[in-house]
Each structure stands twice: as structure tokens, then as C-alpha cells.
Chains A and B, each alone.
Chain A
């Protein structure tokens, strides 16, 4: 009898225990649900899709650093529409497949108000498509020209940086006139490189020059000498624009191959972003020219706005990190994050945006913008914004390498880079 009784009590206690465990785990599950966002002071949530890892990592680091600095400035100013900005960063590994997942995560898990940040063309394409599906506003900080060509959708904007087509339109008369007429192009083998190829070929023809060879190199390539024998002997000028982790190797091998005797060089600073121009092996660049969107050295652009921006991001006068002179920034791209965040602020405040249900008003408010004035919010310079094409246009800089530093020798006007974009997104339904 007593044996039986004890058995019963044992089984009861086991059942009780199980119930307890179940209840506990239930509680735990419940506590895992995110609290409603308005509980914590109702911040405005902005997602940064960053290339933290993968081949765009150098850009990702600086995009994040610039964005954190901009958000701090915005919050010190009182936030956006009186609400504190909460920056949520997700890594897309510079990978198109991952980009879609990141957008999904922003929409369903973090429930952000807007997303910004992707740069690399293939990743931008994937994020843009997802943004349209999710009806989530996406501000790309890229240079791809597809947006203004009408290939994306009404939810995608580029308010902080000019695109390749405009950059090339602005600078090609100077390049063909001052560097050389027979141009060999060395470009990355994907959409960004093709943008360069198409627009330079077109522009060169107009200026009486010609592109006599195009060498496309995969952005994952690590060794470059083998491509250089394709450069025709009668080339006057090499136009180079390379991206990816191998850029330093690329310029170094170009120098090994030509020494100081080769054709004249004109490059997009992309080939040297995050690379110290005074690195050993780059001496041959002396005297060559580079395009910059935002002069790396303070001497190239020392307006009040530019100084304020550089201080906030922590840049020294050589465009490197203040606390580590070897950590060179991607200065010609990352300002786009800063300016994009301020344009989001402007549009949110103009539209009276409160929650996701106001997205239509927000999008129409961005489309209503016509220009941005130069200043702390837009340190790179004034910009014209074409609302129907969702694209901004700004000035460009051409710099010469002198004494291992970059010196601005030519500045274009906004009009130099202006063209009639094909896109009209305002006709698309929201």
C-alpha cells in the first residue's frame, strides 16, 4: 500500500514538474516576442544594409561609421520630427542572395521605417526588387545608373550620391581633352563596370576620342598582371576603375608592368578607395589623375560643411582615421550615407510621417524635393534632385597625384553631369 502511494505521489510530482517546466518555457517564449515599438519612447527605426563582410567590406566599415556619426548628429539636433533615430545595422555579406534576406528581416523582424545603404550593383538590384515587394522605402547609396534608367521601382531612391552615368558625363570632356584620345578601359566585370564602359564609349565618341579596348576583370580576382598584355600598344590613356579586395594589388601590378613609361593614367578613385596613395609600389601614380566625388584631402574641399562632417566621422586632413593614419577612408562614397540620412530627415519631417501607414506620404514627399543646399547636411555640395527619376545630381572633382597626395585640379558643375533620366516612377501605383 505504502509502496503504491509513494508511486502515485512520485508520478504526480513528475507531472507537476513537467507542467512547471512547460509553463516556464512558455513564459520564456513569450518574453522573446518583441515589445511593441512605441513602448520605448517611439524612436524612428532606420535600417542600414551594410557590406560588413565579403568583397565590399572596406566600404561597409566606413558606411557604418559615417552613418553612426550622422545619426548622432541628428539625435543631438533633436532627432527626426522630434523622434530619436534608432539605427539598426544588418550585414549582407556583399551578397545578392543575402540582400533579399536582410530586407525581409528589416521588414518583418526589426519593423524599420526605412532602409538605406547598399552599394555594390548586384546587391542593390536584389534589395531594390525586395523593397518593391515589401513596399519598404529603400535609399540606395550606390553609383549604379539603373535607378534613373527606370529599372527599379517606386520604393527605391538615391538622394545622397550621383550615379556613374552622371559622373562620366561630367568628367569625360576633361579626360578626353587632357589625358588622351585612345582609351583602354579596365573595369570590373559586372553591371557597375558595364555602366562605365557604355557611358565612356558614348562620351568619348562625342569628344572625338575612342575606346580601343575594354578589359573586364571579375571583382573577386586577386592577380592582375595576366590581363595587362591585352592593352593595345597604341593606347594613349588607361582608364581604370576597380573594386573589391584586390584593388591595391591591381594598382601595384599596373605599376610593376608599366613603371613610369606607360600610357597616361586616369582612374576612378574606386581603384584606390581605402588604400594609402603613399603605399610602396604606387610611386608610378605620381602625375596621374583620378576622379573623386568627395576630395580625400581636406585641402581639396575645406568648406564649413566638409570640416564639420570630417570631424564628426573622425577623419584627419589626409582622409584617414584620426586615431590610425593607416586606416584610409572610402571618402568618395561614404558621404552618401550622411547625406541620405539628412534627406530622409527632410522628407519625414515634410510629410508628417508617423508610422508605416504613412509611407505613401513619405514617398511623395521625397519625390517633391528639387534640390539640396550645400552645408552641414550636404557637405559634398549642392545637389539637384529629379523627383520622378528618384535620382540626385551633384558636382564632381578631378584630382592629380602630387607628392603622394591628391590635389584637386578641376571641379565640374552640377549641369556638367546632368542628363535627362528615362525613369518616371511617379506613374507607378503605390
Chain B
């Protein structure tokens, strides 16, 4: 039976899911839109972000959780961005960003990252102290205060990314490369460098969402699979490489997943999301929003 409190809980859970998912999927969509690279290792960047968040809170600092969290928000995207730059330089560039070969290459990257983390960090799921620990007591149920903060932080980060893409010179280069790489190059856009930057930026977005997720769900070496799957669903539903569509789809899928999970069952939510992908591919292969330039 659907009651008002259940609906509220569903909305809240959905909003948290949608916010984090939007960050992750935006990274994946950006990489695909600009570089035409389908990055299978994208979920592992999320996982790396969460693992680094654990290191920052527990191993290195041991200080106040807020400091550790802020430090992680800074360090995780930087480190993961470097990993992505290295992957771009060592692998993707060597195979000339060929779409088919990059799928295989990034799949290899997925295993390399996952197994390296298994070796260095171990197989345990480890809790990450949330920066703020408080419960919001509603008349019907309680809710984690940190989750509400995650929504705000994710929105702020999305806004910042949007600003970079639409207002800065580098954002202009990215959009130009996305529309037509050859023409952009002819106009003096350093396409190769833009590729590297975009790949790093995509990874950084994933890493940030990993840092946000870690205090809610612990850090574990296998945690990259779920965000990858959901991000793919979002990117397909939103239209491959279409950033505005991606955000819209993240909202739809995230909220929908939360709502259906709470009101019915999480399995049904996954089924409907998958069905939606199939429907979109058949009815509107371009995505829900038609070719909206970002």
C-alpha cells in the first residue's frame, strides 16, 4: 500500500540516487560525446574515489571527519584524474581512440584497477566516517542528515561542471571537438590535448561521486559495477553524448529507481530501467530529448 510517509521516503531516496547518478553519468556521457570512447572502466573511477576517501579519513589523517572528507574531495579527483591521464596517454592514444578497440582496452583497465585495489587495499568493505553524523527525525521515520548534504553537494558540483562547459574557453574547445573534431582542429583546437582533458574530467566526476557515496555505503573493491550499469542506462536513455539529456535521464532514472524501490521492490526498479533502455532504443534511438546541443 502506498502511504504518504512511504512516498516521502521514496522521494528522498530517489533524490539522493539521482544526484549521485547525475555526476557519474555526466562523466561517462562527456567522454562518449567528445571522444566517442565507451569507457567500461568508468565505475572503477567511482570505486577509486571511494577508496581514496577511506584513505583520507582513516589512514592519512585520523583527524576530524570533516577535514578528511574535504581533503578527499580535493585529493580523490586529482589522483583519479592523473590515473585517467596516464590511461589516456599509455593506452587510448596508442590505439587512436578507435571505438571498438577502446571498449576492449577500457575493459582491461577495469580489471587492472579492480585487481590493483584488491592487492593494495584488500577485499574488505571498510566504513568511511561521514563528515557530519546526525539523524533527521521525521514523524514517521528518521533519515540520514548526510544524505541530504550529498544532494546539495552534488547539485553544486553539477552546476560548477556546467559553468566550465558553457562559459570557459576549455569548455568551448570541448563542445567544438564534440561537434566536429576535424573542423575544430582546423581552427586550432588542440584536439588530442582536449581528449586527454575530457577523459580526466570524466574520471574526476566519477571520483567525486565515489567520495560522496563512500560514507553512505562503505568502500569496497567491487563497488564499481552498480554505478557503471546505471550510468550506461542513463546515458543511453538520455541520448549518447547528449549532456542535457543525460541530466534529465539521471533525474528520471534516479528518482524512478528510488521511488519504485521503496514503493514496490528494487528488483522491479532495475527491470523497469532496463525495459526503458530497450524502449528508448527502439522508439527513440537518439535518446529522450532529440539532439539537444549542450
Q: Please report A residues at the B interface, Cβ cutoff 8 Å.
A: 52-55, 57-58, 60-61, 218, 220-223, 225-229, 245-246, 248-249, 253, 256-259, 274, 279-281
**Max chain A Cβ within 10 angstroms of own Cβ: one of B9, B123, B142, B220:** B123
- Are B266 and A226 in contact, CB atoms less than 8 angstroms apart? yes
- Tell me whether B107 is interfacial, beta carbon within 8 Å: no
- Are A229 and B125 in contact, CB atoms less than 8 angstroms apart? no
* B129, B220, B262: the one within 8 Å of A280 (CB): B129
Tell me the nearest residue of chain B to A53, going by C-beta.
B123
- Are A245 and B220 in contact, CB atoms less than 8 angstroms apart? yes
- Are B266 and A221 in contact, CB atoms less than 8 angstroms apart? yes
- Are A54 and B123 in contact, CB atoms less than 8 angstroms apart? yes
Known pairs A257-B143, A259-B142 / 20 extra A-B pairs, C-beta < 8 Å: A52-B123, A61-B123, A61-B124, A222-B223, A223-B216, A225-B143, A226-B261, A226-B266, A229-B10, A229-B262, A229-B263, A245-B124, A246-B125, A248-B125, A249-B217, A256-B144, A257-B142, A258-B142, A259-B137, A274-B124
Q: Which residues of B in the span 105-145 have a Cβ within 8 Å of any Cβ on A? A: 118, 122-125, 127, 129, 133, 135, 137, 141-144
A-B contact list, 20 entries, CB within 8 Å:
A52-B123, A53-B123, A54-B123, A55-B222, A58-B124, A61-B123, A218-B266, A222-B218, A222-B223, A226-B258, A226-B262, A227-B266, A229-B5, A229-B141, A229-B262, A256-B142, A257-B142, A257-B143, A258-B142, A259-B137
User: From residue B16, how far is it (CB to closest CB) to chain A in Å?
Assistant: 9
- Are B124 and A256 in contact, CB atoms less than 8 angstroms apart? no
- Tell me whether B184 is interfacial, beta carbon within 8 Å: no
10 A-B pairs closest in CB distance: A245-B125, A57-B123, A226-B261, A53-B123, A222-B217, A229-B6, A226-B262, A256-B144, A259-B142, A245-B220
Tell me the nearest residue of chain A to B144, going by C-beta.
A256
Q: A54-B222, A229-B262 are in contact. Are A256 and B125 (CB under 8 A)?
A: no
Which residues of A sit under 8 angstroms from B88, Cβ to Cβ?
A: none
- Are A249 and B262 in contact, CB atoms less than 8 angstroms apart? no
Which residues of B sit under 8 angstroms from A229, Cβ to Cβ?
A: 5-6, 9-10, 141, 262-263
User: From residue B280, how far is it (CB to closest CB) to chain A in Å?
Assistant: 24
Q: Which residues of B in the span 1-46 have a Cβ within 8 Å of any Cβ on A? A: 5-6, 9-10, 13
Tell me, in angstroms, the Cα distance from A57 to B129 when the chains sit together: 21
Tell me, in angstroms, the Cα distance from A280 to B134 when the chains sit together: 11
Give the size category of B's interface with A.
Answer: 20 to 34
Which residues of B sit under 8 angstroms from A52, Cβ to Cβ?
A: 123
Tell me the nearest residue of chain A to B213, going by C-beta.
A222
Tell me, in angstroms, the Cα distance from A227 to B269 when the chains sit together: 12
- Tell me whether B180 is interfacial, beta carbon within 8 Å: no
Which residues of A sit under 8 angstroms from B127, Cβ to Cβ?
A: 248-249, 279
Tell me the nearest residue of chain B to A258, going by C-beta.
B142
Q: A226-B13, A226-B261 are in contact. Are A57 and B142 (CB under 8 A)?
A: no
- Are A222 and B10 in contact, CB atoms less than 8 angstroms apart? no
Which residues of B sit under 8 angstroms from A257, Cβ to Cβ?
A: 141-143
User: From residue B26, how far is it (CB to closest CB) to chain A in Å?
Assistant: 21
**Max chain A Cβ within 10 angstroms of own Cβ: one of B125, B220, B266:** B125
Which residues of B sit under 8 angstroms from A54, Cβ to Cβ?
A: 123, 222
Which residues of A sit under 8 angstroms from B222, Cβ to Cβ?
A: 54-55, 220, 245
